[in-house]
Amino acid sequence: MSVLDLLRPDLAGFVPYASARRVGADAPVRLDANELPWPDGVDGPLPNRYPEPQPRELRSALADLYGVGTENVWIGRGSDEAIDLLMRAFCRAGRDAVISIEPTFGMYRTAATLQGARYRAVKLLPEDDFQLDVDALLAQVDADTRLVILCSPNNPTGTLHHACIDTLASALQGRALLVIDEAYIEFADTPSAAIWLDRHENLAVLRTLSKAHGLAGARIGALLGSAALVRFIGSIAAPYPLPAPSISAALAVLTPAARTLAGQRIAMLRAERERVSDALSTLPVIDKVWRSSGNFVLFRGRDAGNLFHLALENGVLLRDVSAQSGLGGCLRMSMGRPDENDLVLQAFSQGCRA
Ligand SMILES: *Cc1c(COP(=O)(O)O)cnc(C)c1O
């Protein structure tokens, strides 16, 4: 059985839009796409040509970065676009279901709801340090389940769930696609789940240049999966998903020098994460700090609103996640530069003297 057997049956034989660049032919003079023929404007070059739907150079640079074949990489406008397209491809509105965990990244529920898919989440509890009970997750999977999405390291808890991926993928074989969102894997101590792609055809991995590579503004993310899945997602995506300036920005962060710099910054943020977690743990206004595998730390105080305002008065915006299931009193702090992180620690230690 192929993972493509799990696609919406009404998409069988789907005919992709045949854009000019997708047709594949080329000639020195291009009069096939209704583009402006001048490549310059008042301030210099204009991106007057449509970009390649999946730029070859970027695809091989990402395949190299992620340790997979080029045929296993689909590049989109952030991993958010891949999440959306997976929902559309696999879930019949009003019928099929997506299973995830809670608390987690809010886009899964949003994208499922937009598609009309049903969405169920297994609760992770603060008293269990947000550990996942794999059997509880599998118990949620029924005949209409098409996608199981697991964020690891999980946002906003920072918990790593990689230890159960191999087991989960085997249990879901022939039943559902297992999607692992690895937006923060660069900050963890574990290899990417992409190492299991050869073994599990029903596995897909989401990566992004938004976090560890500093390119949130460029909107470049990747879906890693079987060649068949990658081809299908490409066939339902927008004709030219990637803006030319974003393609250039992505290539610029994938040079050897840029990858070395990213590695240094990742190491610094990991060290900051440990330093800030330790410092937060000693403060009387904080009653719990969870160990994180991401570039952020989740912590709990008696009054999340008060902590939020203490940081704000010192010029720092934190993320109040206290309204989410199981996260009463909790805030999430992204790791900034050491001087930025110190502003939060100062605000909280002054706050408890006041
Ligand atoms: C930030 C984040 C993303 C972001 O993705 P883009 O590539 O910027 O769209 C995806 N997943 C999670 C869990 C995130 O926190």
Q: Ligand 1: which residue has its CA nearest to atom 3?
A: 183
Chain-centre distance of CA 33, in angstroms? 33
pLDDT above 90: residue 25: no
Average the pLDDT over 304-310 and give the result. 97
Q: What is the pLDDT of residue 352?
A: 55
Contact of 215 with 249, CB cutoff 8 Å: yes
Instruction: Kindly give the number of the ligand 1 atom that is closest to the alpha carbon of 77.
Output: 9
- Determine the average pLDDT of the residues in 159-170: 98
Q: Quick: pLDDT tens for 178-236.
A: 999 999 999 999 999 999 999 999 999 999 999 999 999 999 999 999 999 999 999 99
Q: What is the pLDDT of residues 122-150, one digit of tens each?
A: 999 999 999 999 999 999 999 999 999 99
Rounded to 5°, angle at Cα 140 from 134 and 141: 95
Rounded Cα distance between 240 and 343, Å, is 43
Residue 318 clears pLDDT 90, i.e. is over it: yes
Q: Is 84 in the pocket of ligand 1 (CB under 6 A)?
A: no
pLDDT at 52: 94
For position 19, what pLDDT does the model report?
A: 81
- In this predicted structure, the answer to whether residue 22 has a pLDDT above a threshold of 80 is no
Q: Is 105 in the pocket of ligand 1 (CB under 6 A)?
A: yes
| Angle, CA 153 vertex, CA 299 and CA 162 arms, to 5° | 135
Task: Check: CB of residue 99 under 8 Å from CB of residue 140.
Answer: yes
Paired sense of beta strands 118-123 and 97-102, if any: parallel
Q: Would the CA dihedral through 267, 273, 279, 282 be positive or negative? A: negative
| DSSP category for residue 5 | G
The string of pLDDT tens digits covering residues 285-306 is 999 999 999 999 999 999 999 9
Residue among 105, 223, 246 to mutate when testing ligand 1 (max atoms within 8 A of CB): 105
In whole angstroms, what separates CA 27 from the centre of its chain?
Answer: 38
Is the per-residue pLDDT at 50 higher than 90?
yes
Q: What percent of the chain has pLDDT over 90?
A: 94
List the beta strands (DSSP E) in 124-216: 145-151, 177-181, 203-208
Average the pLDDT over 151-164 and give the result: 98
Q: Encoding tokens for residue 16?
A: 């992709």
Task: Point out the least confidently predicted range of 16-25, 56-65, 269-278, 315-324.
Answer: 16-25
- Taking the centre of ligand 1 as the mean of its atom positions, its distance from the CA of residue 221, in whole angstroms, is 8
pLDDT greater than 90 at residue 21? no
78 touches ligand 1 (CB under 6 Å):
yes
